[in-house]
Amino acid sequence: MKWYSQNTNSVLETLETSRISGLSEEKAQLRQQEYGPNRLEAAKKEPAWKLFLKSFKEPLVIILLIAIVLAFASAAYDFQVTGDRQHAMASIYEAVAIMLIVIVNSSLAFHQTRSAQKSLEALSNMRQHHMHVLRDSNWISVAASDLVPGDIVSVKSGDFIDGDLRWLKTAELQINESHLTGESDAISKDTEIVSEDTELGDRTNMGYSGSMVVNGNGIGVVVATGMDTELGRISNLMQDIDDQKTPIEKSVHGLSKKLMIIAGLIILLTIGYDIVKQLMQVGNVSLESLAGISSTSIAIAVASIPDAMPVVLSIVLTIGAKMMADQKGLVKSLSSVETLGSTTYIASDKTGTLTKNEMTVTRFWANGEVYDVEGNGYTPVGDIIRTDGKPVNPKDYQRFLEVAVLNNEAEIKPDDKQNWRPFGNPTDVSLVVLGAKQGVKRDALLEDRGNHDIDIVRILPFDSTRKMMTVVIKENGKYYSLTKGAPDVVKDRTVSAMLDGQVVDIGEVAADIEGTMLAFANNALRTISLTQREVTRDQALNAPSEELERDLCFLGLVGIIDPPREEVRTSVKKLTDASVNVVMITGDHAATAKAIAKQLGIIKSKAARVITGKELEGMDDAQLAEAVLTTRVYARVTPAHKQRIIKQLQQHKQVVAMTGDGINDAPALKAADIGIAMGINGTEVTKDAADLILLDDKFTTIEKSVESGRTIFANILNFMRHELTTNVAEVLSLLLGVFLITAPIGHITEVTPTLTALMVLWVNMISDSLPSFALGYDEAEADVMKQQPRDTNQSILANGMLSRVLIRGGVMGGAVFIAFIWAANQGFSIAQSQTIAFLTLVFGQLWHVYDARSTKTLFDRNPFTNSRLTLAVGFAATSSVLVTLIPFFNQVMGTAPLSMGLYVGIIILSALPTFILSGIKKLIWRMREGQNDDVVEYD
């Protein structure tokens, strides 16, 4: 028999489980072994060898492979035709060395890609769904993957269902299972048996893996997990980690392509130029000179491609994602790391994110009087006193308190240290505490079977669009609908009020209530009205919320304090300095919102504009567009309004981060550039829709993530500056050799390249990429949070990057060429001259790293704060000198040992370009600043 066509008892029996105590932990373990984890099998991973081979498709590797073939061909030619064994061996060495480099390079790329993937996987494991499961009689939170058949689970609005369930108990339960049925409306669920031939979409007593609870709550027993679920049956692919390219990766990719084309043109031009020159001078082209030309072009090809860049880039972004996770901000994709850094608006929920969500009722209005409530936190101890000092009569607020705890699903319990701990919705917890202070408790009310008999009939949970919650009770044979909610929403549905046990027309107290509510709100209190209404049995059982929540009788009003988080003020200040606008969005009353916004520094004065949900509805897109840039507080909004606000901000090309906690917030989170969900109090649905999850629910974590995003981006620019400068220098020094050396100088002929291909490779692989990688770990430059957000529409080469790279690279390349010519003039051998050029390049570049590391100049940052960089530079310097000394490398790379004096001279002189250029820049800036002082008004 199918699960849905038998009664719940026989389902529980078949699954050998209990509705009361659930499975034992032991049994769950055994079943976990039997059934495996509750997970869909992921798409087959790419095998390692394929991943490895992938790197061979990189343009640079292809060029190197061609170089290998050319070198072997040249060796074969020497063996067969010229008989120059020595030259042949040199070519073979070269080929083997390039091959080794290709392999090392591929392995490195492979290893780094794998480890980046691993840490991304680790991050994605951190955001697994959790479910509320009954084990050994205790409700505990269990990772969805640990669910086994027979588990009893409880779900509520905003949860995902993982595993197929048979419902045992439901309350207003509605489920969206469009992923299986295509039906986009939510389906109401109950526990009634349906016939065996019922279609999946009509099996109303079942819940299916992957669906969303959109309303109410329910308890069910797991009947299938993992690939045995309906979802598992239709899909054998699971959506894997999103490995889309980030915007910056895309632009770097585009840049690489452009560089390839430029390199190709340069090479063609060089070869053409050389051949024409030969033809004009000698009348024909010798094979030997062709070999020379081809080795120069190989060197240029290698020189012009910043080969380490893509790998370093993705690693640096991964470092960023890890860095954020360490600070409790969990990003889902690498592009969010980047986007966070360019965020211009952060729209945050008030409750729980900007405030502590530790709600306490401090005042209330009932029976025409205002009362103060004493006591702190969740401890249910505190007196109730009248603000006018007169003695209180508890009877005056008895019913009011009863409704407060009956229209409520929250609880407080003492822990082992006798501290009271809250469970459930914080707003409702505050009402539980209020009631308990006077001995009014929900359990006691429901248990008392004497002359007073109360049962809960239905619960219509709070939702942030309705802004109300209703509980229907049966009390001594009569039915009452108890409604509590936002005062202004409740007001329109209220017709009467309770005064001294009598029902009076609302007109008698309306002004008093309204005045009290405003007074509470102006004092930053969150307000809630409590009402009741007698209904018929039929209404009690079946009426929808619209019908129940009207013709209400007013009982009272509470004012709840929800203190702002202290650290938020500092974060708001920091973000404001960083030109990031902080906006508060709340379902609370405008006056409450304004008072808190003022306390947090989001607005400077109480005169600031607040847009309410109602006003927002009256505005068309154009009007809203005009207002969004300057409005800092939105009150009484519903989740749907959030989407409009985002859209209008995006029209202004703003990068918007938006927080959300409830299920209705999911679309807004998707629409935002950065959707932010709460890790602790957020629903699973919002976590799923978000780009950033705040593991500690704190606003400050957003601020830290923005800072990390900016730091990472700055580091990326830094290493790109470094790499591209080197490429320009390499290409230029080689080109100058081709075009300016027209006759032999000393031992050097007109086809001798300034650097050998292997020297260029060495520079790219060792002295270039290691420090680049280290730059990725750099801490933030002092002023990342003082600058404007990055303009995402701008090319990465904008803002002086291109000119800086061309100038630095040009000067460095010129210096290398001058060193080469100088050496040739001094009569050094080819190998020695090239070695001098090589070391000039290596050290020029290592000095330059410290300049590239700053958006300003070399002199603006302490060079020793990044120990990885110090290490990388030290290693690059030492190993580059060693390869000129060790005979093996001399053979392979074409290097030669130099005199002590030369080494020292090169190391010192190669610092000159960087120091001189940085100095000039510093001077120009000084002068400009001086000028700016005079013209500051025009700025």
Phi (first) and psi of residue 412, to 5 degrees: -125, 140
Cα end-to-end distance, the chain, whole Å: 80
CB of 587 to Mg ion, least distance (A): 6
Which residue of 469, 472, 595, 755 would you call a contact of ligand ADP, by CB under 6 A? 469
Contact stretch for ligand ADP (CB under 6 A) within 164-172, 526-534, 680-688, 760-768: 526-534
Q: Report in angstroms how near the CB of residue 593 gets to Mg ion at its nearest.
A: 13
Q: CB of residue 470 vs ligand ADP: minimum separation in angstroms?
A: 9
Residue 466: C-alpha distances to residues 546, 638, 927 (Å) = 9, 8, 62
| CB-based contact 862:731 (threshold 8 Å) | no
- 625 CB-near residues (< 8 Å, 6+ apart): 648, 651, 652
d(CA 470, CA 181) in angstroms, rounded, equals 31
55 sits near Mg ion (criterion: CB under 5 A): no
Decide: is 217 part of the binding site for ligand ADP (CB under 6 A). Answer: no
Member of 467, 641, 698, 853 binding ligand ADP (CB under 6 A) = 467
Interface with ligand ADP, residue 683, by CB under 6 A: no
DSSP one-letter string for 168-190: EEEEEEEEE-HHHH---S-EE--
Using CB under 5 A, count the residues that bind Mg ion.
1
Q: Is 549 helix (H, G, I), strand (E, B) or coil?
A: coil
Q: Least distance to ligand ADP from the beta carbon of 537, Å?
A: 25
Structure tokens given for 289: 């000179």
Least separation in angstroms between residue 550's CB and Mg ion is 23
Is the Cβ–Cβ distance between 270 and 297 less than 8 Å?
yes
**Distances from the Cα of 842 to the Cα of 100, 487, 755, 839, 894, angstroms:** 21, 72, 12, 5, 15
What is the footprint of Mg ion within residues 734-773 (CB under 5 A)?
none
Question: Token pair for residue 537?
Answer: 């049995």
Q: Which of 307, 349 has the CB closer to ligand ADP?
A: 349
Please say which residue, 350 or 861, places its beta carbon nearer to Mg ion: 350
Which of 874, 884, 885 has its CA nearest to residue 759?
A: 884
Smallest distance, Å, CB 876 to ligand ADP?
54
Which of 855, 857, 843 lies closest to 908 in space, CA to CA?
843
We find the least distance from the C-beta atom of residue 485 to ligand ADP, in angstroms, to be 4
Q: Is residue 481 a contact point for ligand ADP (CB under 6 A)?
A: no
**Distance between CA atoms of 479 and 536, rounded to whole angstroms?**
6
Q: How far is the CB of 484 from ligand ADP (least distance, A)?
A: 4
Least distance between Mg ion and beta carbon 640 (Å): 15
Q: Between residues 610 and 842, which has the closer beta carbon with respect to ligand ADP? A: 610
Q: Which stretch binds ligand ADP (CB under 6 A): 102-110, 126-134, 296-304, 465-473?
A: 465-473
Q: Which residues are within 8 A (CB) of 483 and not within 5 positions of it... i.e. 6 or more apart?
A: 407, 468, 469, 470, 490, 493, 530, 531, 532, 533, 548, 549, 552
Asked if 400 interacts with ligand ADP (CB under 6 A), we say: no
Interface with Mg ion, residue 351, by CB under 5 A: yes
Minimal CA–CA distance to 563: which of 605, 516, 526?
A: 526
Phi/psi at 587 (nearest 5 deg)?
-85, -5
Helix (H) or strand (E) holding 341: helix 334-341
Mapped onto helix, strand or coil, the DSSP state of residue 839 is: helix
* Known catalytic residue at 349: yes
**Taking the C-alpha atoms of 880, 884, 887 and 889 in order, what is their torsion angle to the nearest 10 degrees?**
50
By CB under 6 A, residue 559 contacts ligand ADP: no
Cα 7–chain centre separation:
45
Q: Choosing among ligand ADP, Mg ion, none, which partner's interface includes residue 855 (Cβ < 5 to 8 Å by kind)?
A: none
Q: Which does 364 bind (CB under 5 to 8 A by kind): ligand ADP, Mg ion, none?
A: none
Alpha helix ranges (H) inside 55-147? 59-77, 85-125
Amino acid at 421: R
Per CB under 6 A, the list member of 38, 360, 516, 527 interacting with ligand ADP is 527
Taking contact as CB under 6 A, which single stretch among the options 90-98, 259-267, 344-352, 748-756 is the one that binds ligand ADP?
Answer: 344-352
Helix (H) / strand (E) containing 495: strand 494-499
DSSP 621-650: HHHHHHHHTT--EEES--HHHHHHHHHHHH
Structure tokens, 77: 């030619």
CB-CB contact of 848 with 872 (8 Å):
no
Residue nearest to ligand ADP (CB): 587
Q: What is the CA radius of gyration of the chain?
A: 36
Q: Pick from 229, 318, 427, 438: which binds ligand ADP (CB under 6 A)?
A: 427
Closest contact distance (angstroms) between CB of 331 and Mg ion is 24
The count of chain residues that interact with ligand ADP, using the rule CB under 6 A, is: 20
Of 320 and 426, nearer to Mg ion (C-beta) is 426
304 binds ligand ADP (CB under 6 A): no
- Decide if residue 659 touches Mg ion (CB under 5 A): no
464 binds ligand ADP (CB under 6 A): yes
Beta bridge partners of 484: 469, 530
Least Cβ distance, residue 696 to ligand ADP (angstroms) = 18
Residue 329 as a binder of ligand ADP (CB under 6 A): the answer is no
467 binds, among Mg ion, ligand ADP, none (CB under 5 to 8 A by kind): ligand ADP
What is residue 53's DSSP assignment? H
Of the pair 697, 723, the CB lying nearest Mg ion is at 697
Per CB under 6 A, 486 contacts ligand ADP: yes
Q: Which listed residue (58, 588, 703, 723) binds ligand ADP by CB under 6 A? A: 588
**130 lies in the site for ligand ADP, by CB under 6 A:** no
Instruction: Give which of 910, 770, 773, 914 is closest to 838, Cα–Cα.
Output: 910
Given 146, 151, 164, 349, which residue is catalytic? 349
Q: Could you say whether residue 364 binds ligand ADP (CB under 6 A)?
A: no
The stretch among 1-9, 48-56, 421-429, 790-798 that binds ligand ADP (CB under 6 A) is 421-429
Residue 425 interacts with ligand ADP (CB under 6 A)? yes
Nearer to Mg ion among residue 354 and residue 717 (C-beta): 354
In the list 22, 329, 485, 559, the residue contacting ligand ADP (rule: CB under 6 A) is 485
Residue the block writes with tokens 């310097």: 877
Binding site for ligand ADP (CB under 6 A): 349-351, 425, 427-428, 462, 464, 467-469, 484-486, 526-528, 586-588
Catalytically active residues, by annotation: 349
